Amino acid sequence: MLRKFGKKLSVFMVLVLVVASLSACKGGDDKKNNSTGNEITETVTPSPTEVPATPTPSPNPIDDMTLKEVYKDDFRIGVALPIGYLGKTVLTDEIKSQFNSMTFENSTKPDAILRQAACAAGLPGTYTEPVINLDSIESYMKFAKDNDIAVRFHTLVWHSQTPTWFFTEDYSVGGTKVSREVMLKRLESYIRQVVTLVEEKYPGQVYCYDVVNEAIDPGQGDANGMRKNSLWYEVIGPDFMEYAFKYARQYAPEGVDLYYNDYNCYLKTTQILKALEPIKEAGNIDGIGMQGHISISNSVERAIKAPAVEFTAAGYKVQITELDIGISEESDANLELQAMKYRVLFKKIREAKQEGKINIDCITIWGLYDSASWRQDESPLLYQYRAGKLIRKRAWYGAMQDPSVKAIEL
């Protein structure tokens, strides 16, 4: 039985907490960096007058409901999982009941799949046919299948978590870079092998692939905003994206969606849409994934809803693929503000879906509990894991649209 996070707040406490939090918000930096070093620029000015309070009923009926039930008519609810949870029923019970989509946090990235020793040992046969291995996801794919959890595959092509040796003649770290032609062959081979293996071993389980991740970075990019600090860009050139999507479409089964995925989409909506235009014209892309690594100072309207509406209007499906909402310090007031932010975000996205403005397919939370988050210093997730227990935070109640969490942004 899960314990609820925190005690139910009285009217008085809510007001005290929120007012106490205002000084922190007001005094905070306008510019923050999330853990990728990506600048988050948007802030919301808090207003104390907007905080009515509703006592939590006891027992709270929300405790017996689940995220996937609450949003079953609107979109999937996903979670990113590292390897290592399967033996712990306290975790798997909650995952099974709450989520109907999952992403492997790191296990389906190129550095987890490519095998350097086998690539090097197999030369010249492996020169354009790199060796891959997907064994580490086996038990998780079984878990997903047994529990009706669809899998979103993250990610085929990315500048990060892709080994530098993959781009060299002899598959050595310091080796000479291969030509564009050879790298295009390796790209084709990698996508073909991974997608084919996934589809053969786990037919029907993967419902979408992130084909390319984070290729657009207007701040440090080329004239079109394409990220230059990427070996894909350096060795192949800016059209590596078009090839990646072309190959993915060639090998992915019909009905499996192909996504471009990126962070801070609200700061580069135009560049993303422009870069994807030829890929869309060729019919090789279905959706845009907005990562959603935000903090309580971000405006949901501007940081999430506006780009999602724009992407939808341009004919794309949309997902929020890596949602986490950071707080600078784990105070009760901040945890309440975080819960409010989760509530507002889910509410606005659902309303926009129902109005036909956002064609959203899934919202994925990037991790299960705070201490396992890649942003653990910012406690950004829906649960805490303490003394062998998984504890629902106020954030979980916010995401559940529990009326005890205010549906407003401060």
Any contact of residue 374 with ligand XIL (CB under 6 A)?
A: yes
Residue 105 in the binding site for ligand XIL (CB under 6 A)? yes
| CB half-sphere exposure, 121, CA atoms < 13 A | 5
Rule CB under 6 A: is residue 104 a binding residue for ligand XIL?
Answer: no
Which CB sits closer to ligand XIL, 155 or 404?
155
User: Rounded to an integer, what distance in angstroms lies between the CA atom of residue 160 and that of residue 211?
Assistant: 14
Do the beta carbons of residue 17 and residue 336 sit within 8 Å?
yes
CB of 188 to ligand XIL, least distance (A): 23
Query: Toward ligand XIL, which CB reaches closer, 46 or 292?
Result: 292
Count of all residues that appear for the chain in the document? 410
Kindly tell me which of 332 and 377 has the beta carbon lying closer to ligand XIL: 377
x/- letters, 33..72, toward ligand XIL (CB under 6 A) = ---x------------------------------------
Among 41, 60, 106, 193, binds ligand XIL (CB under 6 A): 106
* Minimum separation from the CB atom of position 380 to ligand XIL (A): 11
Judged by CB under 6 A, the residue of 213, 297, 319, 359 near ligand XIL is 213
Q: How far is the CB of 80 from ligand XIL (least distance, A)?
A: 7
CA torsion angle for 242, 198, 101, 370 (degrees, to 10)?
Answer: -90
Look at residues 163, 161, 168, 171 and name the one whose alpha carbon lies nearest to residue 210: 161
Active site positions, annotated: 214, 322
The structure tokens listed for 119 are 């690539």
Q: Which two tokens stand for residue 396?
A: 């979980």
What pairs with residue 390 in β-bridges?
385
* Structural contact between residues 234 and 178, judged by C-beta atoms closer than 8 angstroms: no
CB of 262 to ligand XIL, least distance (A): 8
Binding track over 323-352 against ligand XIL, x by CB under 6 A: ------------------------------
Element spanning 308, H or E: helix 306-313
Instruction: Give the one residue of 108, 291, 295, 384 binding ligand XIL; rule: CB under 6 A.
Output: 291
Nearer residue to ligand XIL within complex by CB, 101 or 291: 291
Between 82 and 175, name the residue whose CB sits nearer to ligand XIL.
Answer: 82
Distance separating alpha carbons of residues 259 and 7, to the nearest angstrom: 41
Decide if 75 contacts 317 (C-beta within 8 A).
no
Kind and range of the H or E run holding 362: strand 360-365
**Token code pair at residue 344:** 């507002």
Quote the least distance from Cβ 372 to ligand XIL, whole Å. Answer: 9
Kindly tell me which of 214 and 409 has the beta carbon lying closer to ligand XIL. Answer: 214
Q: For residues 307 and 295, give the distance between their C-alpha atoms in angstroms, rounded to a whole number.
A: 17
Taking the complex as a whole, the smallest distance from the CB of residue 104 to ligand XIL amounts, in Å, to: 10
- Name the site residues for ligand XIL (rule: CB under 6 A): 36, 105-106, 213, 291, 322, 374
